[in-house]
Amino acid sequence: MVKTTKTPNIVILISGRGSNMISIVEAIKDGSLPVTISAVISNRPDAAGLIYAQNAGINTAVIDHTQFESRELFDQAMANEIDTHAPDLVILAGFMRILTTAFVEHFAGKLVNIHPSLLPKFKGLHTHQRAIDAGEKEHGASVHIVTPELDDGPVVLQARVPVLENDTADSLAARVLEQEHTLYPAAIRKLVLANKIFT
């Protein structure tokens, strides 16, 4: 039997402006990332990234978390919407919701996140200030496979930046974000080419 190849299909989840989503779209446009985006889904109807996605001709959907009585019901609705697109990967790009174990397990091995620290250091919030307070010499971002434990799971790729003597949380965050925009498309490409997701 001849094995047929297909372009991997991804769904991107956002909550805001979607700057990492934009970097992924740009990488697809320039040919460096061999995937297609079947949908961009947001939990916030006012997410600016939705407008960008629509202008780029990408399907969009909103599952407003405020319309659900529980996290579980929201996650189920989100999973149902994602499943209609049958994605090979689900990409969290500034999606500001903690996901239930049931959701994570439903997409086990397919759910990818970017976190602004060199994991396993500084899981959770306020990573840039915490890195400065800890006297770190370098900081950065990690792309990892999502598991039920927050900011855990196998690291796919990391990017590093030096922590400068006069850094503030904002200045450090800006340099890390610049690296994220290169890192995330590269990590998705690594997953695709390593055939870790697709059989």
Pairing state of beta strands 155-162 and 138-145?
antiparallel
Quick one: three-class SS letters along 103-129?
HHHHCCCCEEEEECCCCCCCCCCCHHH
For residue 157, the Cα-to-chain-centroid distance in whole angstroms is 13
The amino acid present at 20, given as its one-letter code, is N
In angstroms, rounded to a whole number, what is the distance separating the alpha carbons of residues 197 and 183?
A: 18
Whether 115 sits among the annotated catalytic residues: the reply is yes
In angstroms, rounded to a whole number, what is the distance separating the alpha carbons of residues 159 and 115?
A: 11
* Catalytic pick among 65, 106, 115, 144: 115
Active site amino acids: 115
